[in-house]
Chains A and B, each alone.
Chain A
Amino acid sequence: MTNLTYLFAAYTVIWVALFLYIFSLSRRSKRLEKMLAALKEGRKKKKSS
């Protein structure tokens, strides 16, 4: 392997890892926000009935 291949490998690892982490955080955030909204909606309905 040439030095440039190592350089490319290092930066690819950094970018892929950071992208996957941000992606997983955003996905979890969306899922939790949905769950929270559903819970709040359920409580509202319960109160009004």
Chain B
Amino acid sequence: MRLAKSREVIGYLSLVFMLAAIYMVFIYAPPDKNLGDIQRIFYFHVSSAWIAFLAFFLVFVASILYLKSRSRRWDILAHSSAEIGVILTTLVLITGPIWARPIWYTWWTWDIRLTTTLVLWLIYVAYLMLRSYSEGSRGARFAAVFAILGFLDVPIVFMSIRWWRTQHPGPVIGGGEEAGLASPMLYTLFVSLAAFTLLFIYLLLLRTKLETIEDEIDHLKRGGH
């Protein structure tokens, strides 16, 4: 009951932050000097990407803990977080090309940042497919190992714009003297990030609840008490 209440509170909080983020993205933040209004895609694009990284990090940690403890709790957390991570990465892969078309005059280019992100998406789609085709604790163990190895791509995606010369814009935070955002843009990014973090927690609570009910149904069907 307490969990249901917290889920509801986080749901409403994420809605409030989303509305604030929308206001800041479209009204509060000034247009970019060079790119104009199209730069406003950046706020939700970057937030989706960062929270997708967080989701995959959680899959990584929960998978290690599952292999150590064999507790179904960690397996549920890993599976749920992977699904949300894939949805967020899908949004990144859709909004990126929409931004790129008027700026680069192409929807897609095999730039290292774009390619490693696509590989990341494919890794976790494969993880979800593996989960749906394999059952029981053996399948869960196999998926956990796959998730731990798959996480190796996350730091590569994150560092790609620092390690290699890419067409993708450079880092906005910690990117050296040339990088950086004007204060209203930075505040807008932080509010968008907060909104996506809250949304992620809300979705995670909702998704883990589903899997817990499914387990309970399975248990009852098998004649448990």
Which residue numbers of A lie inside 8 Å of B, CB to CB? 1, 3-4, 6-7, 9-11, 13-14, 17-18, 21-22, 25-26, 28-29, 32-33, 35-36, 39-40, 43
Contact = CB atoms under 8 A, between A and B. Distances in A.
Consensus secondary structure, chain A interface: helix
B37 A4 contact: yes
Interface residues on B, range: 20 to 34
26 contacts: A4-B37, A7-B38, A10-B44, A10-B45, A10-B98, A13-B91, A13-B94, A13-B98, A14-B44, A14-B48, A17-B90, A17-B91, A17-B94, A18-B199, A21-B87, A21-B203, A22-B203, A22-B206, A26-B206, A28-B210, A29-B206, A32-B210, A32-B217, A33-B213, A39-B217, A43-B220
**Residue of A32, A33, A36 ringed by the most chain B CB atoms within 10 A:** A32
Nearest to A4: B37
Interface in B32-77: 36-38, 40-41, 44-45, 48
Nearest to A18: B199
B168 interface: no
A6 B203 contact: no
Nearest to B84: A21
Given A6-B98, A9-B98, A17-B91, A36 B213 contact: yes
The 10 closest A-B pairs by CB, nearest first: A3-B38, A10-B98, A32-B213, A10-B41, A10-B95, A39-B220, A25-B206, A13-B94, A6-B98, A3-B102
**Residue of A6, A21, A28, A32 ringed by the most chain B CB atoms within 10 A:** A6
B41 A6 contact: yes
B91 A39 contact: no
A48 B123 CA distance: 51
Interface string B87-101: 100110011001101
Nearest to B35: A3
B214 interface: yes
Contact of B209 (A14, A18, A29): A29
Interface of B: 36-38, 40-41, 44-45, 48, 87, 90-91, 94-95, 98-99, 101-102, 199, 203, 206-207, 209-210, 213-214, 216-217, 220-221
